[in-house]
Amino acid sequence: MASKRIGVYICHCGVNIAQNVRIDDLRAFAAGLPGVRVAQNYMYMCSEPGQEMIRKDIAENRLDRIVVVACSPRMHEPTFRNAMKSAGLNPYCLEMANIREQCAWVHKDADVATAKAKSLLAAAVTKVSLLEPLEEREVPVTKTAMVIGGGIAGIQAALDIADSGFKTYLVEKDASIGGHMMQLDKTFPTLDCSACILTPKMADIKNHPNIELLAYSEVTDVKGFVGNFKVTVKRKPRYIDENICNACGSCAKYCAIAIKDSFNAGLSKLQALHIPFPQAIPAAYVIDPLACRYTREGTCRQCEQVCKDLNAINLDMQEHSIELDVGTMIMATGFEPFDANRKPELGYGRYENVITGMEFERIVSASGPNQGQLLINGKKPKEVVFIQCVGSRDKTVGNEYCSRVCCMYTAKHAHLVREKLPDAKITIFYIDVRAFGKGYEEFYDRVKGEEVYYRRGNVSEVYRKGDKLICRGEDTLLGQALEVPADLVVLAVGLEPSPGARELGQLLKLSKSPDGFFLEGHPKLRPVETGSDGVFLAGCCQGPKDIPDTVAQAGAAAAKAIIPLAQGMVKTETMVARVRAEACRACGYCVDACPYDAIALGEVRLGRATKTAAVVNEVLCKSCGACSAVCLSGAIQQSGFTDDQLLAVIGAIGKEY
């Protein structure tokens, strides 16, 4: 093996690295390491002049291996690979030593940080001299996308992808799309009618030639990788054929079983056979199997008789699964309002007139249980108290985050109360008011001007005194505890991840942030990407947000999901496992170890003879290295992480420099 010609490039990262690591020491040290022909340092290696420095040295000094001593490879490995590629060098002959995240930022003492940087640098130089050039391959992409979750986030993302010409599946677990936005009455700060701006988009979903809506369905399995996912979707039985049903509703009149109306937040009842709400998409009825007398007891079938002509009802419908090929996916599973029963001291579930913000939306909505009249037990409340931050910013329930919408929706609610009840006394207890969006502070000002008492401090407990509820809180500006009587108490419940999102996330190998929502690829620079290539995030599944932010993020996720579809090809893993057939014992240990079934035993040619040995399917291999760890003869090796390379690194990193 000809000796390698290595270039080492040490980055100052402005002062980020340079202030804690002695760059000159490090450069002198690098220059003395075996194989190193060039050792340079520069203010910002990732900048264009920095990259140009590498390209120039490759040409002038015939460098064939590059070590960049800078930040995390998770950040800039692609940057330097591209620079090498454009200088005609194989991009896989690169190694990075991460002295920013692992030295400069975590060790204040410059001696210590510099010493540690040296050993990381030495290890990188050792490894790079053993790296082999690797070839990049591409495979064609299935030009179809899937969006999971049919709230405003999923609807917007599906429409954007479909509009750009790609087929899109929209999977929604409920009987209709629309999500929580459909339940809202008005939206802050403009007071647009929520349903009026949402239903046209829902109709577009139904009518779009590129969109296939799979409502009442759930994703149960995901295989494959970016460009070529295989998704199993479970289609729950609706018992009514959505393609035949014309939503005439005759059947529902005959259904005698009443259930809680979850669209109205449980405040009213509907039949076991029902349409979730009048504007539902698909515009078809559905039967709740947990309530239907026939599915539970085996007798009834009244409704079938009514629909004899169209014959849309089929009570023998069975659950079934379909498998779909898609290239990219968007998660849009949204949120679930915080369960106020978890704050028992606030009286929810104990007093009828303590309700959540979501229930309030339904009560004041013209399509709600009271046709929009604000009545509590049939009476107009005279005194209304709002309590903010319920289930948010609260360690006792494990939610440290701010839910971001409840300050504003509470202001909106106060406005709606004032509109409906000009004489009501309205009090809002708050810790801080977060009115950060466009037009939000102005809206907050406007609401305060409508004689709404904002009391700085929060309510500790709610109890009954006579026929009133008493909200006991402290006005911390006065430094005095207050007892505010109320006929209606509205809890500004926060947002939590949707209940099934966790399992779904595991199928897609998505990480969660400590708040339980899905973790984005990078908090600043990759806000809609995830750790799984080809899977993107939109809306509240990534964290609480309002509708404008949700829609913006959905558009961004759609654009990202379109890229591989438009390119038509995706790169497969490069650092795949390779087999030296002559060493292989054909034991099959690697076959068992591979999580992707990428290895099989097969006949291979060795010179003129043939032999049984492990064979890797390079398209399926995802480059985890599990096979290499179990191979006793060292025959199967993950490129870029071979036994030789790792053992050499272990040797180099353990030494004193």
Ligand X SMILES: Cc1cc2nc3c(=O)[nH]c(=O)nc-3n(C[C@H](O)[C@H](O)[C@H](O)COP(=O)(O)OP(=O)(O)OC[C@H]3O[C@@H](n4cnc5c(N)ncnc54)[C@H](O)[C@@H]3O)c2cc1C
Residues that bind ligand X (CB under 6 A): 148-154, 171-174, 179-181, 184, 187-188, 218, 332-335, 337, 357-358, 361, 405, 409, 412, 498, 500-501, 504, 539-540, 545-548, 550
Q: Which does 181 bind (CB under 5 to 8 A by kind): ligand X, another protein, ligand SF4, none?
A: ligand X
> Are 426 and 486 within 8 A, CB to CB?
no
Q: Per the structure block, which two tokens stand in for 129?
A: 């001299």
CB of 218 to ligand SF4, least distance (A): 28
CB nearer to ligand SF4: pick between 194 and 410: 410
Footprint on residues 372-391 left by another protein (CB under 8 A) = 389
Q: Which does 374 bind (CB under 5 to 8 A by kind): ligand X, ligand SF4, another protein, none?
A: none
How many whole angstroms separate alpha carbon 605 and alpha carbon 622? 25
476 lines the binding site for another protein (CB under 8 A): yes
What b/e readout covers 357-396, taking b as 16+ CB neighbours within 10 angstroms?
Answer: bbbbbbbbbebbbbebebebeeeebebbbbbbbbbbbbee
CB of 126 to ligand X, least distance (A): 47
CB nearer to another protein: pick between 243 and 480: 480
CB of 596 to ligand X, least distance (A): 24
CB nearer to another protein: pick between 135 and 656: 656
3-class DSSP assignment, residue 385: strand
Q: Which does 88 bind (CB under 5 to 8 A by kind): another protein, ligand SF4, ligand X, none?
A: none
Burial class from Cβ neighbours inside 10 Å (0-12, 13-18, 19+) for residue 407 reads: buried
What does 76-110 look like in DSSP terms, one character per residue? HHHHHHHHHHHTTS-TTSEEEEETIIIIITT---H
Q: Which does 481 bind (CB under 5 to 8 A by kind): ligand X, another protein, ligand SF4, none?
A: another protein
107 lines the binding site for another protein (CB under 8 A): yes
CB nearer to another protein: pick between 105 and 254: 105
CB of 424 to ligand SF4, least distance (A): 21
3-class DSSP assignment, residue 536: strand
CB of 407 to ligand SF4, least distance (A): 3
Q: Which does 152 bind (CB under 5 to 8 A by kind): ligand X, ligand SF4, another protein, none?
A: ligand X
Q: What does the DSSP 8-state code read for residue 315?
A: T
Q: Which does 184 bind (CB under 5 to 8 A by kind): another protein, ligand SF4, ligand X, none?
A: ligand X
CB nearer to another protein: pick between 56 and 108: 108
Q: Which does 385 bind (CB under 5 to 8 A by kind): ligand SF4, ligand X, another protein, none?
A: none
Q: Which residues bind ligand SF4 (CB under 6 A)?
A: 388-389, 392-393, 402-404, 406-407, 432, 434, 492, 494, 576-577, 593-594, 596, 598-599, 616, 621-627, 638
Residues 603, 605, 608, 611, Cα dihedral to 10°: -40
500 lines the binding site for another protein (CB under 8 A): no
Q: Which amino acid is at 453?
A: Y
Q: Which amino acid is at 386?
A: F
Q: Which does 15 bind (CB under 5 to 8 A by kind): ligand SF4, another protein, ligand X, none?
A: none
Q: Which amino acid is at 535?
A: V
Q: Taking Cα atoms as reference points, which of 104, 96, 5, 128 lies closest to residue 58? A: 5
Residues 55, 56, 62, 67, Cα dihedral to 10°: -50
CB nearer to ligand X: pick between 57 and 496: 496
Any bridge partners for residue 9, and if so which? 40, 68
Any bridge partners for residue 538, and if so which? none
Any bridge partners for residue 148, and if so which? 171, 331
641 lines the binding site for another protein (CB under 8 A): yes
Q: Which does 409 bind (CB under 5 to 8 A by kind): ligand SF4, ligand X, another protein, none?
A: ligand X
Binding range to another protein, per CB under 8 A, among 308-316, 325-333, 472-480, 612-620: 472-480
Pairing of strands 488-493, 328-331: unpaired
CB nearer to ligand X: pick between 361 and 383: 361
Q: Which does 383 bind (CB under 5 to 8 A by kind): another protein, ligand SF4, ligand X, none?
A: none
Q: Which does 100 bind (CB under 5 to 8 A by kind): ligand X, another protein, ligand SF4, none?
A: another protein
How many whole angstroms separate alpha carbon 643 and alpha carbon 629? 8
How many whole angstroms separate alpha carbon 553 and alpha carbon 166? 19
Among 28, 31, 59, 112, interactor with another protein by CB under 8 A: 112
Q: Taking Cα atoms as reference points, which of 52, 111, 54, 64 lies closest to residue 89? A: 64
Number of C-beta neighbours around residue 34 at 10 A: 11
Q: Taking Cα atoms as reference points, which of 23, 62, 59 lies closest to residue 40? A: 23
CB of 288 to ligand X, least distance (A): 15
The residue assigned the tokens 């120039």 is 56
CB of 350 to another protein, least distance (A): 8
CB nearer to ligand SF4: pick between 30 and 576: 576
Footprint on residues 54-83 left by another protein (CB under 8 A) = 72-75
How many whole angstroms separate alpha carbon 139 and alpha carbon 252? 51
Cis peptide before 73 (omega within 30 of 0): no
